[in-house]
Amino acid sequence: MLAAVSDHALSEATMGAYVAQEMATGALSAAQGALAQLLGMPDEGVAFVESATVALGTLLDVWPFGAEPSIGVVPSEWGPNLAAFSRRGLRIVELPVDDDGYVDLAGLERVLASSPPSAVHITQVASHRSLVQPVAAIAGVCHAAAVPLFVDAAQALGHVDTATGAAVVYATSRKWLTGPRGVGVLAVASAWFPGLRRVLEVLEPEAPEEPIGALLSSRESHVAGRIGLGHAAREHLSLGPPAVWQRLAAVGRATRQLLQDLDNWQVVGPVDDASAISALRPTAGQDVMAVRARLLGELGIVTTAQHVFRAPREMRGPTLRVSPHVDTTSDDLVRLRDALGSR
């Protein structure tokens, strides 16, 4: 992947950006195909943008919501997404969940039958704690009710199965696929192409009859990053995604099991969840920012100090996030446990 990104950057420097982009047509098509496979979407519905944030903004700009737009979310929704919904004038409808925060499928079915929102939006893997939503089952309920499901897969792509039957999936390159920064993907199922095309024709009357993915893609593009994302996606496919997902789930469970009886820290979320992400709530007044700085500065252990803005409908205070990847060892986890228990 690094070589592919570097080679394209060199081509831009020596031949010019537009010539280099033309020469990269095959690589970009391959990237689109790999992402389509991972997301369960048609190739022509895959768009390249700069980030998951840009993907959501693009989606909200072009989706035909109707006169009284609303969107269904769960309490664990990513805070910046909620802000984006508010900026677009979407009324928030909170969907029912169980005690652990998973969508209550029967409750969702009742909501969609009685007072359905314009769309349902689910963050498939929560950023702030262990929580993987049953998106394939949610998609089935939404499909039966003819309500589009949007899936934020920023923490899901490369982490869990993202081919779930949703209307829209969007993600970023730089997280679990470990691709380049500055690249994201927005993918739309073919059943929703006609409505989007009508909106796009109003916004851009002179737009050519290009595939939906091309129309939604950012025009001034980080082509080297897109090529890198494609390589990362193909590398993930070559490894066998189920094996990666199972390894990440095992690492996450092992982390929470090891840390759940620490003094002065409380594991947030279900221990047996399939997420590799874990979160710890301080119970003795610890300064999470200071703990994060000490772990990194003294021991080289990377964690994240999380604040309430990440999930303002659910979080009540700062937490420490641990996000081990597939190469994490049991010794690494013991070292973290010892460091957290030492002060």
CATH of the domain at 290: 3.90.1150.10
Show which of 239, 269, 301 is a domain's final residue. 239
The answer on 249 and 221 residing in a single domain is: no
Q: Are residues 142 and 37 in the same domain?
A: yes
Range of the domain at 99: 2-239
Q: Are residues 97 and 232 in the same domain?
A: yes
| Region 313-324 average pLDDT | 97
Cα gap 251→326, rounded to integer Å? 7
The share of the chain scoring above pLDDT 70, in percent, equals 98
Total domains in the chain come to 2
The number of CA neighbours under 13 Å toward the Cβ of 316 is: 4
CATH number of the domain enclosing 179: 3.40.640.10
What pTM value is reported for the model?
0.94
Please tell me whether residues 231 and 252 are part of one structural domain.
no
| Phi, psi torsion values for 268, nearest 5 degrees | -100, 130
Residue ending a domain, among 239, 271, 304, is 239
Specify whether 259 is located in the same domain as 198: no
Q: Do 136 and 85 belong to one domain?
A: yes
Residues 54-99: pLDDT tens digits? 999 999 999 999 889 999 999 999 999 999 999 999 999 999 999 9
Q: Are residues 183 and 43 in the same domain?
A: yes
Is pLDDT above 80 for 100? yes
Q: How far apart are CA 97 and CA 105, in angstroms?
A: 8
Which tokens in the block code for residue 14?
């020596």
β-strand partners of 185? 48, 171
Query: Which tokens belong to 320?
Result: 């420490």
- Asked if residue 320 and residue 173 are part of one domain, the reply reads no
pLDDT reported for residue 24: 75
Pairing of strands 319-322, 304-306: antiparallel
What six digits make up the tokens of 311?
A: 């999930």
Instruction: Give the mean model confidence (pLDDT) for residues 233-248.
Output: 96
Question: Among 239, 258, 290, where does a domain finish?
Answer: 239
Task: Round to whole Å and give the CA distance between 332 and 291.
Answer: 17
